[in-house]
A and B are shown apart, each in its own frame.
Chain A
Amino acid sequence: MKTVSPISLKRYSNSSQISLKSWADQLNNYLAVAAYLHSILNFFFIFLSSWWTEVQMGPPDPILGVTEAFKRDTNPKKMNLGVGAYRDDQGKPFVLSCVRKAEAQIAAKKLDKEYLPIGGLAEFSKACSQLALGPDNEVLKSGRSITIQTISGTGSLRVGANFVSRFHNASRDVYLPKPSWGNHTPIFRDAGMQLKAYSYYDPKTCGFDFKGALHDISKIPEKSVIVLHACAHNPTGVDPRPEQWKEMAALIKKRNLLVFFDMAYQGFASGDIDRDAWAVRDFIEQGHNILLSQSFAKNMGLYGERVGGFTVVCKDVEEAKRVESQLKILIRPIYSNPPMNGARIASTILNTPELYKEWLVEVKDMADRIITMREMFVSNLKKEGSTHNWQHVTEQIGMFCFTGLKPEQVERLIKEFSIYMTKDGRISVAGVTSANVGYLAHAIHAVTK
C-alpha cells in the first residue's frame, strides 16, 4: 500500500506545481486506499463465498492408503500386498499379449471416435454375455436377456443398484456376504438401497461358513436382493463348492430372492472360464432370472480402460426390451455412453478365434502363477517351522487370500518388515513373486510363531 505523506508535498516550491502535483498525489492516495479497501472487500467476499465451509475432510480410501504408505517406504525388501491388480513374477504390471495384438489390429483399422450407443458397443455386449452364459445358453438363444456395456465392474454394479432402486419396489434390502468387497456398500447405499448381510466367512476355519450362510439366507425376507460372488470371493478367496452352490440355489429360490451375481474374476479364479462361470449358469438353469455384473479389469488386464457388462435375465424378449429402454434412460444422465477403447479391445479378443485362444492361455497362466505362489507360500512357511494350519491359503482361490492374521500382526508386518496389506489380513497373492515369497513366509512366521 502506497502512502504519500503530506510532508513530502512541501518539497515543491512552486505553488501551481504544488497544486497540480498535490492533486495528483492525493488522487494517487485515494486510489491506493480504494484499492486496499477493494482487496479487503474481495477477501471478505471470498470469505462470504465459501460455499464449502461445511465440507469435512473425508477418510482416505483404506486400500489406497496402503499403497501411499508403501510408496513412502524406503526398505528395498518392501512388498505391496494391498494392490488388487495382477503382477508378473518380476512384480511388474502385465499387459496381455492378446491385448497388444488387439490394439494393433484396432489401430490399423483407423476407426473413428463417434459416440457409442448408450448401451455400448453391440459386438462387445453380445460377446460379453456369451462368455458368461456360454454360447449355447437358452437365455441367449431366446433373446430374453439384455446386456449393456458398463464402466468396468463398479459401473456395472452401480447401474444395477440404480436399476433395482428405481424398479424393484418390492424390497429396499440388499444382502451382502459377510465380508464383501468394501465398495459394494457405498454402491448400493448411494443408489438408495439398504444394506444387510448374511454369514459367509468362518474365521475359525478360514473357510466357508456353509451352515451359517444357509441359516441366514433362510431368514431373508422374500424378494430381497442377494449379492453372490460368482467365483474368487473378494476379499476372502473362499468359494462354495458346487454341491453347496446347489443347496444355496434351491434355498434362494424357496425364499424368492432376486439374485445379483458379481463376477469380476471369470477365468482368473481357476484358470478355466467355464468352471468359473459354473454357478452363474447353474442358477440360470434352475430358473433364477438373475442380474449379473462382469468385469474385464483382471481377466484381460484392462484395469484402467474400464470394461464391464451388466446383464438382466428377463422372462421373455418383450420384457428384455422394456428393461433395456429403462437402462438407457438411467444411464444417459450419468455418463451418456460408455468409453470405446477398452470395449473394442475386449470385443476384438472375444470375437477373433486366434486372439480368443491366446487369451484363454494367458488368463490360465495368470491363474496358475497365483496358485503356484499360494503353494510356495505354504511350503516356505513350513520350512520356516510354522506349526499353524495354512491349508486355507491353498484352498482359497483367486487374487486375494484372507490370511487370518490379526490387526496387531498386520501392524508388525508393516512396521518391522515393510510388508503392506489391508488391516483385515487380506493379501493380494498377485503381489507375491518367487523372489519375495521366502521373505514373506519368514515375516509371517515371525509375527505368528
Chain B
Amino acid sequence: YNLLELISFLSFFFFFLLACYFLCFRFFLSSWWTEVQMGPPDPILGVTEAFKRDTNSKKMNLGVGAYRDDNGKPYVLSCVRKAEALIASKMLDKEYLPIGGLGDFNKACAELALGPDSEVLKSKRSITVQTISGTGSLRIGANFLSRFHTVARDVYLPKPSWGNHTPIFRDAGMQLKAYRYYDPATCGFDFTGALDDVSKIPEHSVIMLHACAHNPTGVDPRPEQWKELSAVIKKRKLLVFFDMAYQGFASGDIDRDAWAVRYFLEQGHNVLLSQSFAKNMGLYGERVGGFTVVCADAEEAKRVESQLKILIRPIYSNPPMNGARIASTILSTPELRSTWLEEVKGMADRIIKMREMLVTNLKKEGSTHNWQHVIDQIGMFCFTGLKPEQVERLTKEFSVYMTKDGRISVAGVTSGNVGYLAHAIHQVTK
C-alpha cells in the first residue's frame, strides 16, 4: 500500500517537475524582446487615426500630406492611367531591375530636374539612381554621406524641416544641426537669420535645402535670396543636399520649381539631389524617386555609381519596377508628358485657389488678423501660425484635424469645406 502511494506520489511529482521545466524553459526561451519598449505613435498618423474615429459629419483631415481633389477624394492622374494601360498592353516581364533601377527612368528623372540642356548631363558628370521615393532617396544619400563624406559628420537642416529628415540622417550615422529658416513673427522666411547661421556653418558640412514648397512651412526663398544663399554656401564650402519632393506641384511649372537646383549647379555647386514622384505624379504608394550625385567628371561619376550600388544591394537589392515604368512612360511619351504637365498645374492651381478662398472667407468671417502668409506660402502645406491650444480647440470643437505645429495640408481643403474651415479658424483666433 505504501509502495503504491510512494510510486504514484513520485510519478506525480516527476510530471509536475517536467511541467515546470517546460513552462519555465519556454518562458525563458520565448522572451527575446522583453526590453523592447512601445514606441511613440507617428505624430501625423496619429492625426489620421483620431480623424477616422471622429463621427462628426463636418470633420476635416488637414494632416494628410496627399493631394485631394475638390471632392476630397484621392486623385489618380489620367496620364498615369494611360501609362498603365500602355504598360499592361506590352505584357512585360517582371525580371529584376538593375541595382540602380530602370535606366530610362533615371535618365528622364535627371533631365526633369536639371533640364534637358544641362551641361552636367551633357558631360555625363552625374549619376542618378532610382530609389524608393523621396525617403529612400534621402536615406541612400544619408548612408552615402556617412560612408564617404568623412570630412564632416554634420548635416544642417532648416528650422523647422520635414519630421522624417532627422531620423533619416541620424539612423545613417550623421549628426543633426539646424539653421534658422522660418520666422514665426512674419510666418515667412527669416532671410537674415538664415544667412547669419549659414555663414557660421563649419566648412564641408552638409546643408539640406528644400528646392521648392518647403515642408512644413510652405515658405520658399525668392530668387534673389537663393542667389545670396548660394554665394554664402559656396564661400563656406558646404556640401549641398537638395530635397525636391514637389517639382511642378509648387508653382505649377516644373522649370520654375527646379530653378534653385539649376541655379546652384550653374554656380558650381556639385549637389546631391533627392527627387520624389509621390506628389507631382500622384504615385505615392508606388514609391518612385531618384537620387543624384553631381560629380567633378564622368570618371568620378562612375566611381560614385559603383559605391552607390554596393550600398544599395544590402538594403533592398534593386528597386520596385511598377512606379518607375509608369513615370518613365509619362516622361518620355510626348502626349502623356504634356497631359501630365497640365494635370500637375491643375493640382497646383487648385491648391493656390484654396489658399485664396480660405483668406477671402476668413475676411468675410470678420477676422482682423493678417492672413497674407496663407497666400504667400506655396505648395501643399501651410503654416497657419496657430498655437497648440488653438489647434486643440479646432480638433475638439470643430473636428478639424491638423498637426500640433499648426500645419495644414491645403490639399485637404475643398470649395465645399473652406467656409467651415474659415469659420472654425476665426472662432479660435478672434
Whether A422 sits at the interface, judged by CB under 8 Å, is no
User: Contact check: which of B31, B84, B168, B314 meets A183 at CB < 8 Å?
Assistant: B314
Given contacts A50-B295, A52-B300, A339-B320, 14 further A-B contacts (CB under 8 A): A42-B268, A52-B293, A52-B296, A55-B307, A95-B94, A112-B76, A114-B284, A312-B33, A315-B33, A319-B34, A330-B171, A332-B135, A335-B139, A337-B285
| A113 with B282: CB separation less than 8 A | yes
8 A Cβ contacts from A244-258 to B: 253, 256, 258
Nearest chain A residue, comparing its CB with the CB of B29: A287
Whether B317 sits at the interface, judged by CB under 8 Å, is yes
| B95 with A93: CB separation less than 8 A | yes
Complex-state Cα separation, A47 to B125, whole angstroms: 13
Q: 1/0 per residue A349-388: CB within 8 Å of B?
A: 0000000000000000000000000000000000000000
Nearest chain A residue, comparing its CB with the CB of B75: A112
Whether B330 sits at the interface, judged by CB under 8 Å, is no
Complex-state Cα separation, A319 to B37, whole angstroms: 9
Q: A190-B314, A303-B95, A305-B321 are in contact. Are A322 and B168 (CB under 8 A)?
A: no
8 A Cβ contacts from A35-51 to B: 42, 45-51
B88: chain A residues within 8 A (beta carbon):
103, 107
Q: A51-B270, A305-B322 are in contact. Are A340 and B314 (CB under 8 A)?
A: no
| B320 with A305: CB separation less than 8 A | yes
Whether B21 sits at the interface, judged by CB under 8 Å, is no
Nearest chain A residue, comparing its CB with the CB of B38: A322
Complex-state Cα separation, A69 to B283, whole angstroms: 36
17 contacts between A and B (CB under 8 A): A49-B269, A52-B300, A55-B307, A93-B94, A107-B84, A114-B74, A117-B45, A288-B29, A289-B29, A306-B316, A306-B318, A322-B39, A328-B39, A332-B164, A334-B135, A341-B286, A342-B320
8 A Cβ contacts from B279-305 to A: 282-287, 293, 295-296, 300, 302-304
Whether A336 sits at the interface, judged by CB under 8 Å, is yes
B323: chain A residues within 8 A (beta carbon):
339, 341
Complex-state Cα separation, A55 to B147, whole angstroms: 10
Complex-state Cα separation, A58 to B307, whole angstroms: 6
A330: chain B residues within 8 A (beta carbon):
171
Selected interface stretch from A19-27, A149-157, A228-236: A149-157
Closest CB of chain A to B99's CB: distance in Å?
Answer: 7
Complex-state Cα separation, A314 to B29, whole angstroms: 10
Whether B419 sits at the interface, judged by CB under 8 Å, is no
Closest CB of chain A to B4's CB: distance in Å?
Answer: 35
A56: chain B residues within 8 A (beta carbon):
303, 307
Complex-state Cα separation, A392 to B188, whole angstroms: 72
User: Contact check: which of B32, B74, B237, B296 meets A289 at CB < 8 Å?
Assistant: B32
User: Contact check: which of A42, A113, A288, A305 meets B285 at CB < 8 Å?
Assistant: A113
Complex-state Cα separation, A326 to B135, whole angstroms: 18
Residue from the set A50, A61, A153, A306 with the largest chain B CB neighbour count within 10 Å = A306
| B38 with A325: CB separation less than 8 A | yes
8 A Cβ contacts from B36-59 to A: 36-39, 41-42, 45
| B319 with A93: CB separation less than 8 A | no
B74: chain A residues within 8 A (beta carbon):
112-114
Chain A interface residue bracket vs B: 35 or more
A residues with a Cβ closer than 8 A to B are 42, 45-61, 64, 85, 93, 95, 99, 103, 107, 110, 112-118, 151-155, 158, 167-169, 183, 186-187, 189-190, 253, 256, 258, 287-289, 297, 301-306, 312, 314-315, 319, 321-323, 325-326, 328-330, 332-342
A288: chain B residues within 8 A (beta carbon):
29
| B96 with A341: CB separation less than 8 A | no
| B29 with A253: CB separation less than 8 A | yes
Q: A315-B33, A335-B132 are in contact. Are A53 and B300 (CB under 8 A)?
A: yes
User: Contact check: which of A325, A326, A334 meets B315 at CB < 8 Å?
Assistant: A334
Contact count A vs B, C-beta below 8 Å = 235
Nearest chain A residue, comparing its CB with the CB of B166: A333
B193: chain A residues within 8 A (beta carbon):
none
Q: A53-B300, A113-B285 are in contact. Are A322 and B314 (CB under 8 A)?
A: no
User: Contact check: which of B26, B98, B286, B303 meets A57 at CB < 8 Å?
Assistant: B303
Nearest chain A residue, comparing its CB with the CB of B28: A256
Q: A112-B76, A341-B286 are in contact. Are A315 and B30 (CB under 8 A)?
A: yes
Whether B141 sits at the interface, judged by CB under 8 Å, is no
| A304 with B317: CB separation less than 8 A | no
| B296 with A47: CB separation less than 8 A | yes
Q: A305-B322, A322-B37 are in contact. Are A52 and B139 (CB under 8 A)?
A: no
Closest CB of chain A to B112's CB: distance in Å?
Answer: 19
Closest CB of chain A to B84's CB: distance in Å?
Answer: 7
| A336 with B314: CB separation less than 8 A | no
| B295 with A52: CB separation less than 8 A | yes
Complex-state Cα separation, A426 to B252, whole angstroms: 53
A60: chain B residues within 8 A (beta carbon):
306
10 smallest A-B Cβ distances: which pairs? A339-B320, A333-B167, A186-B314, A340-B285, A304-B321, A325-B39, A58-B306, A341-B322, A154-B317, A336-B135
| A113 with B76: CB separation less than 8 A | yes
Closest CB of chain B to A178's CB: distance in Å?
Answer: 19
Q: A55-B304, A93-B94 are in contact. Are A339 and B287 (CB under 8 A)?
A: yes
Whether B66 sits at the interface, judged by CB under 8 Å, is yes
A312: chain B residues within 8 A (beta carbon):
33
| A118 with B42: CB separation less than 8 A | yes
| B320 with A85: CB separation less than 8 A | no
B117: chain A residues within 8 A (beta carbon):
none
| B306 with A57: CB separation less than 8 A | yes
Whether B396 sits at the interface, judged by CB under 8 Å, is no
B148: chain A residues within 8 A (beta carbon):
52, 54-55
Nearest chain B residue, comparing its CB with the CB of A300: B94
Closest CB of chain A to B253's CB: distance in Å?
Answer: 24
A151: chain B residues within 8 A (beta carbon):
132, 316-317, 320
User: Contact check: which of A113, A118, A335 meets B284 at CB < 8 Å?
Assistant: A113
Nearest chain A residue, comparing its CB with the CB of B151: A51
Nearest chain A residue, comparing its CB with the CB of B278: A115
Closest CB of chain B to A139's CB: distance in Å?
Answer: 11
Closest CB of chain A to B70's CB: distance in Å?
Answer: 16
Complex-state Cα separation, A329 to B168, whole angstroms: 11
B296: chain A residues within 8 A (beta carbon):
46-47, 49-50, 52-53
A335: chain B residues within 8 A (beta carbon):
132-133, 135-136, 139, 287, 316
B239: chain A residues within 8 A (beta carbon):
51
Q: A114-B74, A335-B133 are in contact. Are A46 and B268 (CB under 8 A)?
A: yes
Closest CB of chain B to A173's CB: distance in Å?
Answer: 15
Residue from the set B74, B167, B320 with the largest chain A CB neighbour count within 10 Å = B320
Nearest chain B residue, comparing its CB with the CB of A164: B32
Whether B310 sits at the interface, judged by CB under 8 Å, is yes
User: Contact check: which of B41, B96, B287 meets A85 at CB < 8 Å?
Assistant: B96
Complex-state Cα separation, A139 to B131, whole angstroms: 35
B25: chain A residues within 8 A (beta carbon):
287
